[in-house]
């Protein structure tokens, strides 16, 4: 017995020594490399041939360091804290308008209903020329945005030019606290189907979805709800848990997180009674639905609480927390992975095992595992949330993409608005054949050339044949084929009239009825919304999907 105790003591001392050495080695490595970095920074600052911006140099070093980990671990300087606050709260001090650059100037892209820009009379299409007497010509959107943002209650003078008018105008705007809604729109899209558009997961997202659902439930004919998280990049984890709780009963596991540090390991359960745990639910997703959006959609799928319609989600299964640094700066760090009720993590990219060139690959198929939902349906990890009803991505034609990139649909809407004081309610508004003819005439002196896929392939063939000295032999055939393939813009305007018209109608509706108007106009022809609506109205398809 004495010998056994002696061996245990010796083993304990040995293990303790090993762990102590490991700790010492790790501490030494950290100290050594910090010393190297400090001395390198000092030598560069003292001896580099040109003057160095010391702060910028260190910022570059920090950013390169965190960039080597993953895209979500970021350094937030003191000057960027306000932008970070906007990301988490949806609030900022400003005038309530989005902007874009064109031809060396910044233009108003959209004004938000009920805020300073709209109340002062600014409109989409207005060109900003000066802010508080300073020219903004040549400035980018980030620079101009900083001019427009500021303390709530402060004022700015803006000189702008409206395309339909000859002389610039000056207006005074009073900045105010701008709150970007997580739920910019909800409503009944048919006598029995309600719709909730969820665009963010900032503070109060749960409250907004709850209020939207309660309002929809006032309609006695309500038989199903569509929750739209397409294009939603995510946000606060506790808001995702709260939104899941609106549809899922009390006591269900929503998500658990696992990280290196103990505080990274947590389980999140629903803690309240659901607002409605049984109403048929369809969640709309696409490849831009990420993070918290994937938690909500994944939980609905894992618990067989609703069907997923659309495209596979982004695949971000990582959790970030912020750590305070000196001088009011912060570090946003990936601290854990999250796992939804079936036990799967939907992270698609493997940042831990980078390729030799530093690039990041997807989780290999050989490592993807199958899991089961509450009713036994098979689901998979390692690549986002796959929809129960997959829909094709809506790719626009070449001519439509060209018109969008050149802002010509936007410009026609600006022109149309200047000539029409009012239109029918959004969702009921439609361009007439005469309106579309006006659009074609509007384009006559505009440059919106483009190349079709066939034309691009033909040009690639010419380059290859020329490089290999074969082109002279096929030049005549090439020219004939080029003539046959050359696109006719007038013909394409007719061929894709419906697609182009739909987008023009949405842009025009937004000028009169703002963001809600754009959404209402879009919903009328949205194929994924229509598909979800049909599923919710077909009880057999809906319930069989959740069982199988």
pLDDT value of position 293: 98
Q: Are residues 529 and 284 in contact, defined by beta-carbon separation less than 8 angstroms? A: yes
Residue holding tokens 């067989």?
304
Confidence of residue 407 (pLDDT cuts 50, 70, 90): very high
List 291, 293, 402, 426, catalytic entry? 291
The residue ranking higher by pLDDT, 456 or 16, is: 456
Known catalytic membership, residue 70: no
- Tell me which of 70, 126, 204, 302 is the catalytic residue: 302
Contact (Cβ atoms closer than 8 angstroms) between residue 69 and residue 351: yes
Per-chain mean pLDDT for the chain: 91
For Cα atoms 538, 182, 91, give the angle at the middle one, nearest 5 degrees.
180
What are the pLDDT digits (tens) for 187-241?
A: 999 999 999 999 999 999 999 999 999 999 999 999 999 999 999 999 999 999 9
Instruction: Provide the pLDDT for residue 10.
Output: 47
Angle (nearest 5°) at CA 357 between 353 and 363: 35
Residue 372: is its pLDDT beyond 90?
yes
pLDDT in tens, 20-60: 445 556 777 888 888 898 898 899 888 999 988 988 888 89
Is pLDDT at 456 greater than 90 in this prediction? no
Active site includes 342? no
pLDDT of residue 354: 80
**Residue 367 — pLDDT band, cuts 50, 70, 90?**
confident
- Asked whether the CA dihedral 455, 460, 461, 465 is positive or negative, the reply is positive
Q: Which of 123, 139, 199, 316 is catalytic?
A: 316
Residue with tokens 């959006």: 293
Q: Return left, alpha or beta for 426; rule: phi > 0 is left, psi -120 to 50 is alpha, else beta.
A: beta
In this prediction, residue 79 has a pLDDT band, given cuts at 50, 70 and 90, of confident
- Check whether 377 has a pLDDT greater than 90: yes
Give the per-residue pLDDT at 2. Answer: 53
User: Could you tell me the pLDDT band of residue 343, with boundaries at 50, 70 and 90?
Assistant: very high
Side-chain half-sphere CA neighbours of 433 within 13 A: 1
What are the structure tokens assigned to 513, written together?
């009825």
Tell me, yes or no, if 142 is annotated catalytic.
no
Choose the weakest-confidence range: 39-53, 246-260, 295-309, 507-521: 39-53
Collapsed DSSP state (helix, strand, coil) of residue 319: strand
pLDDT band at 18 (very low <50, low <70, confident <90, very high): very low
Q: Read off the pLDDT band of 9 (50, 70, 90).
A: very low
pTM of the predicted protein model: 0.87
pLDDT of residue 359: 80
pLDDT category at 484 given cuts 50, 70, 90 is confident
**Closest Cα to residue 411, out of 162, 145, 113, 104?**
162
Contact partners, residue 190, CB within 8 Å, separation at least 6: 533
Q: Is the pLDDT of residue 19 over 80?
A: no
**Other C-beta atoms within 10 Å of 363: how many?**
20
Q: For 82-139, write each residue's pLDDT tens digit.
A: 777 777 888 889 999 999 999 999 999 999 999 999 999 999 999 999 999 999 999 9
Q: Let me know if 140 is exposed, middle or buried by CB neighbors in 10 A (0-12, 13-18, 19+).
A: exposed
pLDDT given at position 3 = 52
Q: What is the mean pLDDT of residues 374-383?
A: 95
């Amino acid at each position: 017995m004495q010998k056994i105790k002696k061996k245990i003591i010796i083993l304990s001392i040995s293990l303790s020594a090993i762990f102590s050495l490991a700790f010492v080695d790790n501490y030494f490595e950290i100290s050594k490399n910090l010393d190297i970095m400090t001395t390198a920074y000092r030598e560069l600052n003292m001896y580099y041939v040109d003057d160095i911006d010391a702060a910028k140099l260190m910022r570059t070093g920090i950013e390169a360091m965190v960039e080597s980990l993953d895209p979500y671990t970021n350094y937030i300087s003191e000057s960027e804290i306000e932008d970070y606050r906007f990301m988490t709260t949806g609030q900022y001090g400003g005038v309530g308008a989005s902007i874009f650059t064109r031809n060396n100037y910044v233009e108003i892209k959209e004004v938000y209903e009920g805020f300073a820009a709209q109340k002062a009379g600014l409109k989409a299409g207005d060109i900003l020329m000066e802010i508080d007497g300073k020219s903004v010509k040549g400035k980018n959107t980030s620079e101009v945005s900083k001019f427009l943002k500021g303390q709530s209650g402060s004022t700015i003078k803006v000189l702008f030019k409206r395309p339909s008018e000859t002389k610039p105008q000056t207006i005074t705007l009073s900045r105010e606290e701008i709150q970007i809604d997580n739920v910019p729109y909800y409503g009944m899209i048919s006598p029995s189907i309600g719709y909730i558009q969820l665009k963010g997961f900032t503070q109060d997202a749960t409250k907004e979805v709850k209020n939207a659902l309660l309002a929809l439930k006032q309609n006695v004919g309500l038989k199903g709800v569509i929750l739209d998280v397409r294009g939603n990049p995510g946000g606060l984890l506790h808001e995702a848990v709260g939104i899941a709780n609106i549809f899922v009963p009390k006591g269900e596991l929503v998500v658990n997180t696992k990280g290196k540090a103990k505080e990274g390991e947590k389980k999140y359960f629903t803690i309240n009674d659901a607002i409605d745990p049984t109403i048929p639910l369809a969640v709309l997703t696409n490849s831009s639905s990420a993070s918290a959006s994937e938690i909500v959609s994944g939980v609905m799928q894992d618990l067989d609480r609703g069907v997923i319609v659309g495209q596979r989600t982004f695949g971000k299964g990582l959790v970030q927390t912020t750590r305070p640094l000196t001088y009011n700066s912060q570090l946003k760090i990936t601290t854990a992975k999250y796992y939804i009720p079936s036990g799967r993590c939907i992270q698609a990219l493997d940042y831990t095992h980078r390729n030799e060139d530093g690039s990041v690959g997807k989780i290999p198929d050989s490592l993807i595992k199958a899991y089961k939902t509450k009713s036994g349906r098979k689901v998979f990890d390692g690549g986002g949330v796959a929809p129960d009803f997959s829909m094709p991505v809506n790719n626009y034609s070449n001519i439509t993409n060209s018109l969008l990139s050149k802002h010509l649909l936007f410009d026609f809407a600006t022109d149309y608005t200047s000539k029409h004081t009012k239109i029918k309610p959004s969702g009921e508004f439609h361009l007439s054949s005469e309106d579309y003819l006006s659009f074609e005439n509007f384009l006559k002196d505009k440059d919106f050339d483009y190349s079709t896929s066939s034309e691009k392939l033909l040009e690639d063939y010419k380059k290859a044949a020329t490089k290999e000295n074969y082109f002279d032999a096929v030049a005549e055939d090439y020219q004939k084929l080029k003539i046959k393939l050359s696109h006719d813009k007038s013909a394409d305007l007719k061929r894709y009239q419906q697609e182009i018209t739909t987008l023009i109608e949405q842009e025009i509706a937004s000028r009169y009825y703002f963001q809600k108007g754009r959404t209402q106009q879009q919903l009328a022809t949205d194929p994924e919304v229509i598909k979800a609506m049909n599923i919710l109205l077909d009880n057999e398809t809906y319930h069989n999907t959740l069982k199988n």
